[in-house]
Amino acid sequence: MNKRDFIHQLWRYKRGSISRRQFLGATGLGLASTVLATTMPELAGPRRAFAGELGDKVALTSWPSYHDENNFKAFTEQTGVNIELAVFGSNEEMMAKLQAGGTGWDVFVPTNYTIPDYVSQDLLEPLDTSLIPNFDASAYETRFTDAGTVDGKLYAISKDWGTTGYVINGGKITDPMATWKDFWDLSMTKYTGRSMVHDYQLTTIGNALKYYGYSFNSIDPKELADAEKLLLAAKPHLFGINSDYKPSLLSGDAWASVAWTGDALQLRRDMPDIRYILGQEGGEIWSDFYAVVKGAPHRAAGYALINFLTDPAVNAKEVLFHGYPTADSRTNALLPKELLEDPIMYPAAELLAPLEFGAAGLITNEARAEIMARFKSA
Amino acid sequence: MRNATGPSPLLTAVLLAPGALWFLGLLVLPLGVVIVFSFGERAAVGGYQAAFVLDNYLNLPARWTAFKNTLVLAPIGTVVCLIAAYPLAYFLAVKARPETRTALLILVIVPFWTSFLIRTYAWMFILGGRGLPSLIEWAGLGEVRFINTPFAVLLGIVYAYLPLMIFPIYVSLEKLDKRLLEASEDLGASPWRGFMQVTLPLSAPGAVTACMLVFILLMGEYLIPQLLGGGKVFFIGNALVDLFLQSRNWPFGSAVAVSLVVIMLATVSVYMRFAGRIGGARDVSLV
């Protein structure tokens, strides 16, 4: 079976056209895993015997459409630990909960630029890598993993990375769009009432700043004032302000939205017409991480979960589901070539070059927070 | 049998203690904290930092639109609810046959058996592009948009709060002494006049209570504008959530919360004075 057939079968399985049993049969994976499990039992991961130490649950806080449920099921089968998943739409909201305390979270998924702030507020536990044997730092592309280390200590392990661009429904919008200026200008004129932006200050303000060619990370008062002016002018023309924009695009209510890599890829499965555009002016490149909350009530289970998700075979399934590229070369070796060449996941070098990683301190910046709040309540 | 002097002061204190502690611990103290916070400053990383400044109150106009949306849509929602609920409550209490009445009352309660969140999500699909608008377009009545408009929020409000409006009105209509209507008929009043001069005034206390219940809850509404307004129709409840969960500006959030409480107290006391005049004090007895 070649890779194309494999992917074809995999998507049929994902879409529910064939059952798990048929999928395993058609691809030969069922036989392969049975053979592996009997000949090399250690591959099947920690035994149930560990269940006593790990407890019966772990609280994971993450983002929408970001994990393959089948991986979670497999984790529960192997360890007896149930995953309680909570989903958030912004880093601010995660930080607000952690600052208030008493979250009961064990593992969560922060974005690169927030980690120094979490560390300085003493909210993260320095990771004990002996509990994450699947993690191999040398396998990762360092520019996506650097942010996980603060003052020489490892606090977070790379989950995946991506870009923030915008999607447009190619069936409705045929204009050549290539820049953030195009996005905002057309949102306020020809396509009024059809565009969405994130309910998330980093990307919404950042991409408004790009309209003027300013840095995505600017905290300059004059530049922020310009961005606010644009946001307030655009507000009456927007369809909505929501980080969960896929349903509105799928229903045809919205035709364009600020979007992340994986959401664009997920949308394309149902809407082949969707186009993902990275503004030529630049914008955001980011990486997400797994981190353990200080004082996590199910610490051992939390480490077990991170270890499980860091397993390249598991991570490959995650990537096939969520559509975000990973920085782990071992995982990439397991992924089909089509995916590794996908222009949404791996944009052209000239589009990637001007992108910026979010800057430390932005998450706690009062001016940006207040601009976002004023924009929303305008 | 109790003695002539009533229960001992000690017993009274013991019986009152749980309720008093409850209010003190869960209402008065938190409100005190909110008031103290409202004069503070936002800490550099977010949260609260002790201070005594008025900046948070001076900054209130920055949330003017949210206040305005709430103060416009909450009363409209209450009035639309009242107009929709009264005939229904009247039918249930007066016209429905006793044997079907219980079944009909249960139907009013049935929606509560499903989570409010899920029901509001259902409205998102009904009002979204593939729902009602596509039907209307198919029928050739033109292109319409419901979701993320004030209309969608109003519809969600009326849908959600209708049962809360129906029940108090139903109870006051159900208690109504039918002999009063017979008397008005004997004295030559038409059914319409009987309704206007007997039924309506006597059910007014129920309607007044129902309106207040719905209005107070609506002033703090968050979920409906969030889901059906899509960030475009913003209530003060949404502004509060943003201030605590996104900007993490607790002092300003506290100032907005205090202002909301003040506005609500003022509105409700004006309303009570006004409502007391039209119906509250009326007490009719046949004997």
Q: Is residue B213 part of a domain?
A: yes
Query: Are A71 and A25 in a shared domain?
Result: no
Q: Check which CATH number belongs to the domain holding A120 and give it.
A: 3.40.190.10
Query: Are A261 and A300 in a shared domain?
Result: no
Closest C-alpha to A299, from A99, A85, A92, A81: A81
Query: Are A98 and A140 in a shared domain?
Result: yes
Chain A residues with CB under 8 Å of B147 CB are: 248, 253
Domain hosting residue A297, numbered range: 53-161+286-340
Q: Is B143 on the interface with A (CB under 8 A)?
A: no
How much of chain B exceeds pLDDT 70, in percent?
A: 95
* Inter-chain residue contact B234 with A376, CB threshold 8 Å: yes
Report the pLDDT value the prediction gives residue B4, as an integer from 0 to 100: 57
**CB-count exposure of residue A81 (10 Å: 0-12, 13-18, 19+):** buried
Q: Is A240 on the interface with B (CB under 8 A)?
A: yes
**Tally of domains within chain A:** 3
pLDDT, tens only, A214-242: 999 999 999 999 999 999 999 999 999 99
Per DSSP (E only), the strands in A242-330 are 256-260, 274-277, 283-292
Q: Is B44 on the interface with A (CB under 8 A)?
A: yes
* Inter-chain residue contact A247 with B147, CB threshold 8 Å: no
| For residue A66, pLDDT beyond 70 | yes
Query: Are A264 and A367 in a shared domain?
Result: yes
> Would strands A107-108 and A283-292 be described as parallel, antiparallel, or unpaired?
antiparallel
Report the pLDDT value the prediction gives residue B277, as an integer from 0 to 100: 72
Distance between A241 CA and the closest CA of chain B, angstroms:
5
Give the closest of B44, B45, B62 to A374, CB-based. B62
Ramachandran assignment for B193, one of left (phi > 0), alpha (psi -120 to 50 degrees), beta (any other): alpha
Band the pLDDT of B272: cuts 50, 70, 90: confident
Query: Are A75 and A132 in a shared domain?
Result: yes
Query: Are A274 and A295 in a shared domain?
Result: no
Structure tokens at A242: 């929501």
Q: How many CB atoms lie within 10 A of CB A77?
A: 12
Q: Is residue B259 part of a domain?
A: yes
Report the pLDDT value the prediction gives residue A286, as an integer from 0 to 100: 97
Query: Are A238 and A363 in a shared domain?
Result: yes
Q: Is residue B42 part of a domain?
A: no
Query: Are A296 and A354 in a shared domain?
Result: no
CA A24/CA A13 separation, integer angstroms: 9
CA A96/CA A117 separation, integer angstroms: 12
To which H or E segment does residue A158 belong? strand A156-169
Query: Are A279 and A152 in a shared domain?
Result: no
Chain A residues with CB under 8 Å of B240 CB are: none
Report the pLDDT value the prediction gives residue A378, as an integer from 0 to 100: 87
Band the pLDDT of A51: cuts 50, 70, 90: very low
Chain A residues with CB under 8 Å of B125 CB are: 251
Query: Are A361 and A245 in a shared domain?
Result: yes
Query: Are A290 and A274 in a shared domain?
Result: no
Chain A residues with CB under 8 Å of B239 CB are: 373, 376-377
* Inter-chain residue contact B230 with A248, CB threshold 8 Å: yes
Q: Is B148 on the interface with A (CB under 8 A)?
A: yes
Closest C-alpha to A269, from A346, A322, A194: A322
Report the pLDDT value the prediction gives residue B177, as an integer from 0 to 100: 87
Chain B interface test: which of A119, A366, A377 (most B C-beta within 10 Å): A377
pLDDT, tens only, A82-138: 999 999 989 999 999 999 898 999 999 999 999 999 999 999 999 999 999 999 999
CA A364/CA A353 separation, integer angstroms: 27
Report the pLDDT value the prediction gives residue B231, as an integer from 0 to 100: 86
Structure tokens at A270: 């149902």
Q: Is residue B13 part of a domain?
A: no
pLDDT, tens only, B117-144: 999 999 999 999 889 999 998 998 888 8
- The pTM is what? 0.84
**Tally of domains within chain B:** 1
**Chain-wide mean pLDDT for chain A?**
90
Q: Is residue B159 part of a domain?
A: yes
Q: Is residue B40 part of a domain?
A: no
Query: Are A316 and A271 in a shared domain?
Result: no
Give ipTM to 2 decimals.
0.85
Report the pLDDT value the prediction gives residue A291, as an integer from 0 to 100: 98
Report the pLDDT value the prediction gives residue A131, as an integer from 0 to 100: 96
Chain A residues with CB under 8 Å of B232 CB are: 235, 238-241
Q: Is residue B43 part of a domain?
A: no
Q: Is residue B50 part of a domain?
A: no
Q: Check which CATH number belongs to the domain holding B230 and give it.
A: 1.10.3720.10
To which H or E segment does residue A153 belong? strand A153-154
| For residue A34, pLDDT beyond 60 | no
Band the pLDDT of A19: cuts 50, 70, 90: low
Highest mean pLDDT among A30-39, A310-319, B44-53: A310-319
Domain hosting residue B108, numbered range: 64-277
